Chain A
Amino acid sequence: MRETAMGKKAAVMIIHQFFSVLMTVMIAGMGYFVREKVYASMDLYGIFSIVGMAGCFVTLAYLANVTGEREDGNIHFHLIDKLPTEFILLMFVGMVVMITKLLKVMGKMEFSFAGVMVASGCLCYILDLVFLLIYLSIMRRLKGNVLITGSLIYKVYDFFKEYFSKDPKKRFRTRKARELSEIQEAIEAIAAGALETTLDESKFHGQEQDFAKAVNRIRVGLQTYAQDSIKNERMKADLITNVSHDLKTPLTSIVNYVDLLKRVNIEDEKAKNYIRIIDEKSQRLKQLTEDLVEASKISSGNIHLERQKIDFVELLYQTGGEFNEKFELRDLTIITKLPHAAVFVEADGRQLYRAVENLYNNAAKYALEKTRVYVELAVENDWAVFTMKNVSKNPIQIEQGDYNQLTERFVRGEISRTTEGSGLGLSIAKNLTHLMGGKFEILVNGDLFTATVSFPIAGK
C-alpha cells in the first residue's frame, strides 16, 4: 500500500515539474517574441502557458492533500520538517530573491530563441525542485499543527514562559529534571488512585526512560490487581447467591413438612419438643440464607440505590411504629427524642430503613428485659446524627476497644448463640450506611451499647 502511495506521489511530482517547466518555457518564449517584436505564434504559446499553469496548481493542490499522510491517519514528518519554521521561510525568501536577481541578469543577456527555451527550462526545473521541498514541508507543518510550535521564536517564548513560571518545579530545568518531575507527578497520581495514568515512554530518555517504563509496569500491575479484586468480590457475591438459591429448595421442604408434622396429633411430649426445635432452627436457617445474600450483595456494592431527599425524623417515627409491639413483648420502653422540624438527608429511604431496622432489631433481640432503649436524632455541624442506646442482656465480649469487630460478618457480641439472629445485622447496617455516604459507629461501655448513624444534612 505504502509503496504504491509513494509511487503515486512521485509520479504527481514529476507531472507537476513537467507542467511548471511547460508554463515557464512558454512564458519565456512569449517574452522573447515581445522583445523581438515577432507575434506569429503568440496565441499558441499563450494557451500552452495557461495549460501549464493550470496543471501546476492542480498537482500542487493534490500534493498538499496527500503529503505526509499515512494509512494510520497520522501526519508523517520528514527530516526537513524538523528544521525550525523560520529556516524554511528564509529559504523561500532566498529563493525569490535569487530568481529576481537571475531574471535581471538574464534580461541583459543576448539569447537565441532555442537558448531562451533551454535556459528557462533548466532553471525552472531546478528552482521547482527547491520550491516543492519548501512548499511540501510547509504543508506538512500546517497539517500537523506545528507551523508555529516548530518555530525558533516559539521555542524561545516557551523557554521564557517556563523560566518565569510561577510553578517552581518548572523553572530552570534541564531535560533530566523535567522528565524526573513528570515521572514524580505520574507516581503521585497513581498513588492517589488514578490508575489510568500512563507515561509516554518515547518522550523519555536514558535512565528516565527506564523509570518511566517501570512506573508503567507498576501501574498495569496495580490496575490488574484492582480489577481482579473487584471481580473476585462480585464472583463471591454470585457464588453466595447461587448457593443460597440451592439451599432454599430443600429448606422449603423442611419448613413445609415440619409445619405438617406440627398438625399431626402426637401425644409424646418429647417428640413435640423435638419438632419445636426443628421448627425454630429451620426458621433461623431461613433468616440466615436471606441475610447472607443481602450482606454479600451490600458488601460488594452490588445494590441499586435510589437516592432522594427524605425526612430522617419521619423515617424514625415510621420505624418506631413498626417496632413498638416487638419492644413491648420484651418489656422494653423506647424513649424517643426527635427534633420537631423535619431533618432532610440525601439517601435511599428503603435502604436507610433497612439499616435503622437492623439496629432496632438488634436492640429488640439483645437488650436486657425491662430496660429503656434511647433513640435520638440530633443536628450537629450540618450532620444528622442518629443514636440508639441500649443495655445488653449478656456481657458484650469483644476484645478491648475493638468495637469494629461487631460489624464484621457473623460476629455477635455474646457467647451464647441461642437467641435468634444471624450475626449479619450490624454488618448490613454499616455497609448500607457507608454505601449511601453516611457514617456508622459502634461504642461499647460495659453493658451499654451505642450505635450511631450519621448523614450530611441535605440543602433545603
Chain B
Amino acid sequence: MTILVCDDDKEIVEAVEIYLMQEGYDVIKAYDGEEALAVLEKEQVDLVVIDVMMPKLDGIRATLQIRKESSIPIIILSAKTEDADKILGLNVGADDYVTKPFNPLELVARVKSQLRRATVLSNGGNVPGEEIYEAKGLVMNNDLKKVTVDGEEVKLTPIEYNILLLLMKNQGKVYSISQIYENIWNEEAIGADNTVAVHIRHIREKIEINPKEPRYLKVVWGVGYKIEA
C-alpha cells in the first residue's frame, strides 16, 4: 500500500514516513500541494495525508482538486483546531481531520482505519438476511453478536453490547442516562449513578480512535448519548 504524505515541514513528513514504514506502508513525500497533485498523476496511491497551510497550493484547494478525479481516502493534518476549520476540511471532501501536534500513534490508527474502510467497503460482503446495523465504519451484526469498526472486530462486554445495540437501532435519537438504564437493566432508574456514563466511556474507548473526539458515539451534554446517524 502506498501513502502520499504532504507537508511543507520536512521533519514532520520524515517522522510520519518513519511511523508508516514501520507499519509496512510505502511512502511518497511531497512538500506542497502542486507537488502532491503531480505525484497523484503519475503514481498509484492508496491514501493521502495532507497539511492545510502550505506554499503554492494549500491542502484545502489540493483536496478539492483531488476530489474532482478520485475518491481515495484523504486525511487532513492541520494546526488549526477550530470547529469551523474541521468542518471546512471535511466539507471539501476529506475523510478525516487530525490536529497538530498529533499523537503519531493516533495518526497511524486513523490511516489504518481509513484504508480498512476503503477496502471493506469495496469488498461489500455482508450475508443478506442477517440483522445488521451500520453507522459509517461502525457495523453491528446482531446474529453473530459481532461489532466491527472499519472492518476490525471490537470486543464488548454484554452490557456494553446491549447499550450500543440500543443506540445503533435508533440512530440519531438521544437517550438519557435513565432511559438507557431502564432499557438495559429493565428496572426503574431511581437515584441513578455514574454506572451508565462509565459504560458509555468504555464503549467509546473501544470503538473510537480518540475517545475525546468521538466519531460514532456522541455525548450530548446535559441531555444524553446518541449514535451519529
Query: Which A residues contact B (CB, under 8 angstroms)?
Result: 245-246, 248-249, 251-257, 259-260, 286, 290, 293, 310-312, 314-315, 317-322, 324, 336, 340, 345, 347, 349-350, 352-353
Q: Total contacts A to B, CB within 8 angstroms?
A: 101
Contact assessment for A252 and B201 in the assembled complex, using a CB-CB cutoff below 8 Å: no
Contact assessment for B221 and A321 in the assembled complex, using a CB-CB cutoff below 8 Å: no
Contact with A along B179-214 (1 / 0, CB 8 A): 000000000001111101111110000000000000
Residue of chain B at shortest CB distance from A253 = B11
Question: Which chain B residues numbered 23 to 75 have a C-beta less than 8 Å away from chain A?
Answer: 53
Contact assessment for B12 and A256 in the assembled complex, using a CB-CB cutoff below 8 Å: yes
CB distance from B51 to the nearest CB of A (A): 9
Residue of chain B at shortest CB distance from A357 = B221
Q: How far is the CA of A293 from the CA of B38 in the complex (A)?
A: 36
Which chain B residues lie closer than 8 Å to A336 at the CB level?
Answer: 193-194
Which chain A residues lie closer than 8 Å to B191 at the CB level?
Answer: 340
Q: How far is the CA of A350 from the CA of B222 in the complex (A)?
A: 8
Contact assessment for A312 and B222 in the assembled complex, using a CB-CB cutoff below 8 Å: yes
Q: How far is the CA of A257 from the CA of B192 in the complex (A)?
A: 46
Q: How far is the CA of A253 from the CA of B224 in the complex (A)?
A: 38
Is B168 in the interface zone, CB < 8 Å from A? no
Could you say which of B80, B102, B199, B221 has the most chain A C-beta atoms within 10 Å of its C-beta? B221
Is B104 in the interface zone, CB < 8 Å from A? yes
Contact assessment for A256 and B15 in the assembled complex, using a CB-CB cutoff below 8 Å: yes
Is B229 in the interface zone, CB < 8 Å from A? no
Contact assessment for B79 and A248 in the assembled complex, using a CB-CB cutoff below 8 Å: yes
Q: How far is the CA of A260 from the CA of B14 in the complex (A)?
A: 11
Is B153 in the interface zone, CB < 8 Å from A? no
Q: With A256-B12, A260-B18, A286-B101 given, is the CB distance from A245 to B219 under 8 Å?
A: no
CB distance from A314 to the nearest CB of B (A): 6
Contact assessment for B223 and A311 in the assembled complex, using a CB-CB cutoff below 8 Å: yes
Q: How far is the CA of A336 from the CA of B191 in the complex (A)?
A: 11
Is B157 in the interface zone, CB < 8 Å from A? no
Contact assessment for A321 and B9 in the assembled complex, using a CB-CB cutoff below 8 Å: no
CB distance from B201 to the nearest CB of A (A): 5
Q: How far is the CA of A257 from the CA of B194 in the complex (A)?
A: 39
Q: With A311-B176, A314-B176 given, is the CB distance from A252 to B100 under 8 Å?
A: yes
Lowest 10 A-B CB distances belong to which pairs? A321-B197, A310-B222, A349-B221, A256-B15, A315-B222, A349-B222, A248-B79, A252-B101, A320-B194, A353-B221
Q: With A318-B219, A321-B201, A347-B222 given, is the CB distance from A252 to B12 under 8 Å?
A: yes
Could you say which of A246, A251, A253, A293 has the most chain B C-beta atoms within 10 Å of its C-beta? A253
Q: How far is the CA of A322 from the CA of B208 in the complex (A)?
A: 15
Residue of chain A at shortest CB distance from B177 = A317
CB distance from A334 to the nearest CB of B (A): 8
